[in-house]
Structure 1
């Protein structure tokens, strides 16, 4: 690993990269028309941009180099955090999305060592969508499952209103107004297929089982309902409309 006493500079990344591509038969030079590293073999042109960390400036610089060649890499010191972490995977996804390659350089006691994590290649948007089709489905289901536009985009350190929580509020408000009910009776009031699961799991502690297959609202549930008047009112109106039709 890097010694704490030694401060790294971008030029420290140059030698191991030059050595690597030179062994592959490339002519390698530094600082050519503002490009940090340029490697040339026949008509194949590779550009490598060097930085001590992955920054927006580095990404802008690298994407500008794509005007010259499709073979553009960024090179950074090997990060101290785990390379199987979510942060690392997200960074790699961003680079692949930008069709950039990635090189990491490790500074060991035996000397610097570079590694190509991945090479530049066209990003297949359709394959990416197909790979995440389940996440896309869940996203749409969550959005369509919400009834009240309760959340403010960009909020932090605030509780998010989900479709699941709305469903819990709907069930709790019905039990508060009507007294103990069965899951079947609740579903007839439009609480949906997850009613029994919500009651039995009792994630928020809002419900109590008073008899076999019969549930009521708990004291915690009564108290919590007061925090969501907008949602409770929505389901109150929906219940009134449902009763009018039936």
Structure 2
């Protein structure tokens, strides 16, 4: 059930903090809700909006100048399909990174609202997951041989590290005909060439017999479309071969 006004969030949030022993008052120095515990003097500021948006986020950051514990509160409408409504995991992590808390209020027609505290003020970011994603980002960056995509593109086919390697496998088959995975691995410097042949994500390869693969017309077409990538890879390979030869010569 969608609320019409953000003031509808106030009663259930006030009740939530009062159950925890806080004294709650609204609209103090432009803060939507201020909760103070009479015994510990713990102070919490809450800013409310019907949906999570930039204005709410900026309000939360501004309130951190007044108090160290600030919570953003929004409605959680299960039927709403707005850009932010279905991404509470990402929004929660964003709030963690900024030192903000985040809570949601879900309204029902026949029962009391349900409040969920997604993160408390000061909760640390989930860095473990970030390290994994960072490792994937760095791997993708270093395994690309060049910059073949225009930043901001979202409708064109991206040249990923995976596509580059698949193109190198296609090049080997185009140049040498039917080959085994091990032969392709030597020609392309891709140790797991067999993975690309067996998975055949782009439908470029064909297994002609056990341990032997050939190139489909779709693969040949892709080589023409991405010829500049193969040319760049070959130039890099030739440059590396010259460097290796020079090192061997100097060592001798």
In the superposition, the TM-score normalised over structure 2's length comes to 0.83
Structure 1: 5+ residue stretches without partners = none
For 1:166 and 1:23, the matched residues in 2 are separated by 59
> Which runs of structure 2 are paired with 1:137-176 in the superposition (5 Å)?
137-176=135-174
2:191 to 182, 193, 213: 193
For 1:205 and 1:150, the matched residues in 2 are separated by 22
Query: RMSD of aligned C-alpha atoms?
Result: 2.7
1:32 to 6, 28, 33: 28
Structure 2: 5+ residue stretches without partners = 246-252
Distance 1:100 1:181, change over 3 A: same
1:153 partner SS? coil
Match of 1:56 in 2: 54
Alignment of 1:99 with 2:123, yes or no, is: no
Distance 1:241 1:182, change over 3 A: farther
For 2:113 and 2:19, the matched residues in 1 are separated by 14
2:153 partner SS? coil
2:225 partner SS? coil
Q: Which one is further off, 151-160 or 98-107?
A: 98-107
> Which runs of structure 2 are paired with 1:1-246 in the superposition (5 Å)?
1-2=1-2, 8-42=4-38, 43-81=41-79, 87-110=87-110, 112-124=112-124, 128-238=126-236
User: Is the 8 Å Cα contact of residues 103 and 114 (structure 1) preserved in structure 2?
Assistant: no
The one-character-per-residue Cα deviations of 1:48-85 (angstroms, maximum 9, x if unpaired) are 11111101110110111112222211121222259xx9
Q: Which one is further off, 162-171 or 210-219?
A: 210-219
1:69 partner SS? coil
In the superposition, the TM-score normalised over structure 1's length comes to 0.85
For 2:161 and 2:14, the matched residues in 1 are separated by 55
Distance 1:161 1:119, change over 3 A: closer
User: Is the 8 Å Cα contact of residues 48 and 72 (structure 2) preserved in structure 1?
Assistant: yes
Distance 1:124 1:76, change over 3 A: closer
Q: Which one is further off, 210-219 or 192-201?
A: 210-219
How many pairs were matched up?
Answer: 239
For 1:118 and 1:70, the matched residues in 2 are separated by 18
1:75 partner SS? strand
